[in-house]
Amino acid sequence: MSATTQMGAAVDISRLSKIYKTREDDDVLALDKIDLKIEPGSFVAVVGPSGCGKSTLLSLLAGLTPASTGSIAIDGDGVSKPHPKTGVVFQSDLLLYWRSVLDNILLPIEIKRLDVAKYRPRAEELLAQVGLEGFGNKFPSELSGGMRQRVAICRALIQEPGLLLMDEPFGALDALTREQMIMDLQSMWLRLRNTVLFITHGIDEAVFLADRVLVMSPRPGRVDLDLKIDLPRPRQWSKTHEDKDYHGYVRQIRAIFEAKGILVAH
Ligand SMILES: Nc1ncnc2c1ncn2[C@@H]1O[C@H](COP(=O)(O)OP(=O)(O)OP(=O)(O)O)[C@@H](O)[C@H]1O
């Protein structure tokens, strides 16, 4: 969100599998030999039925969970722990209630023992860019759900991550706030041009936001469809929702879910 344009990170996933060991005998194959290359600066959305491994994929990319087999590289660096170029936003804002908004945004800087004072103006700039100018000294309990999620996004952006991982970031928001956040996320990304991997249950928000939508199969997760979304930007809410190409993409994705019995056609 800074005035400087930065290049997004490249992601290269090869033969990636994840098996969860369980206490029972049968292990869970959550991801099955995923191959995926993501261009720097692109916005990729992942949709799929519940339990297909979307959060697992994100967690592996974030370096929070080890892969069972295969590899992930971010700008050529193998990922085995959280990568400095990566920022993560979850469905729940995970703000620390005893810290002010600014101190929450600056938490990753503090954890990395960087110079907090140096990053303070940037934190304030980020807050202003998400419409929360002057809220730095408030506490999370004084903010609405949408405002808290904006703060969580600022916290993920404080170190200008080349790769922003978002796991259903708007899933807990009401419909109007969600619409506003989707539009704001698009504006932010158009300014920043970092690489975004956005996980969602919403086919509509995936098609609206992304350059590319990956549709995952039921578990074990594989990529069933890799759909390029060729709609002009900036996308406007009403105009894009009236666009016949937009509806064509949504139909194509729904057809996959209907064919697999995940959605029942009415
Ligand atoms: N720690 C774990 N131990 C065992 N199994 C797990 C673990 N975490 C996830 N799983 C299983 O792995 C599969 C994929 O889970 P994951 O949370 O990645 O799916 P998801 O697509 O994100 O689901 P949802 O959309 O419901 O959030 C599921 O069958 C889940 O039960």
Find the range with the poorest average confidence among 58-67, 147-156, 257-266. Answer: 257-266
Q: How many angstroms separate the Cα of 66 from the Cα of each of 14, 169, 223, 247? A: 14, 23, 20, 38
Ligand 1 neighbours (beta carbon < 6 A): 20, 22, 28, 30, 48, 50-56, 219
**Of the residues 160, 193, 217, which one is the last residue of a structural domain?**
160
Residue 2 has what pLDDT? 44
Q: Please choose from 19, 20, 32, 197 the residue to mutate so as to test ligand 1's pocket, defined by most ligand atoms within 8 A of CB.
A: 20
Mean pLDDT in residue range 25-52: 93
Residue-wise pLDDT for 110-168, tens only, equals 998 999 999 999 999 989 988 899 999 999 999 999 899 999 999 998 988 999 999 99
Written as six digits, the tokens of 253 are: 């994705």
Does residue 190 register a pLDDT over 90? yes
- Choice from 28, 90, 217 to test ligand 1 binding pocket (greatest atom count within 8 A of CB): 28
Q: Read off the pLDDT of residues 100-111 as tens digits, 9 standing for 90 and up.
A: 999 999 999 999
Per-residue pLDDT band for 6 (boundaries 50, 70, 90) equals low
User: Of the candidates 154, 210, 141, which has an alpha carbon nearest to the alpha carbon of residue 182?
Assistant: 210
Residue 140 to residues 94, 97, 128, 152, 219, Cα–Cα distance (Å): 10, 6, 16, 10, 36
Domain span at 39:
1-85+163-266
Looking at the structure, tell me whether residues 170 and 191 fall in a common domain: yes
As for how many domains the chain has, the answer is: 2
Identify whether residues 14 and 136 lie together within a single domain.
no
Q: What CA dihedral angle connects 201, 202, 203 and 205, to 10 degrees?
A: -130
The per-residue pLDDT of the chain, averaged, comes to 91
> Whose Cα sits closest to atom 30 in ligand 1?
51
Q: Considering 134, 160, 186, which residue would you say is the last residue of a domain?
A: 160
Q: Do 170 and 156 belong to one domain?
A: no
State whether 188 and 207 are in the same domain. Answer: yes
**Residues 70 and 53 occupy one common structural domain:** yes
CATH of the domain at 259: 3.40.50.300
Mean pLDDT lowest among 2-11, 41-50, 104-113, 223-232 = 2-11
As for the ipTM of the complex, it is: 0.97
pTM: 0.92
CA-nearest residue, atom 28 of ligand 1? 51
pLDDT band (50, 70, 90) for residue 266: low
Q: How confident is the model at residue 174 (pLDDT cuts 50, 70, 90)?
A: confident
**Last residue in a domain, options 127, 142, 160:** 160
- Write out pLDDT tens, residues 195-242: 999 999 999 999 999 999 999 988 888 999 999 999 999 999 999 999
239: left (phi over 0), alpha (psi -120 to 50) or beta: alpha
Percent of the chain past pLDDT 90, that is, above it, reads 71
Residue 260 and residue 203 share a domain = yes
* CA 208 to each of CA 5, 67, 162, 240: distance values in angstroms, whole numbers, following the listed order: 23, 31, 22, 7
Say yes or no to pLDDT of 3 above 50. Answer: no
151-189 burial, b at 16+ Cβ within 10 Å, e below that, comes to: bbbbbbbbbbbbbbbbbbbbbbbeeebbebbbbbbbebb
pLDDT confidence of residue 265: 64
For residue 1, pLDDT beyond 60: no
Long-range contacts of 138-145 (CB under 8 A, 24+ apart): 138/100, 138/101, 139/97, 139/98, 139/99, 139/100, 139/101, 140/93, 140/95, 140/96, 140/97, 140/99, 140/101, 140/104, 141/97, 143/101, 144/177, 145/93, 145/172, 145/173, 145/174, 145/177
Atom from ligand 1 closest to the CA of residue 58: 18
Q: Are residues 224 and 139 in the same domain?
A: no
Indicate the pLDDT class of residue 74, thresholds 50, 70 and 90.
Answer: very high
Give the three-state DSSP class for 120: helix
* Same domain for 63 and 42: yes
Ligand 1 pocket: which of 55, 92, 203 to mutate (most atoms <8 Å of CB)? 55
DSSP 111: H
Distance CA 185, CA 7 (A): 17
25/111 same-domain check: no
Count of beta carbons in the 10 Å neighbourhood of residue 63: 18
- The residues facing 20 across adjacent strands are 28
102 and 61 assigned to the same domain? no
Same domain, 22 and 81: yes
Residues 132 and 145 in one domain: yes
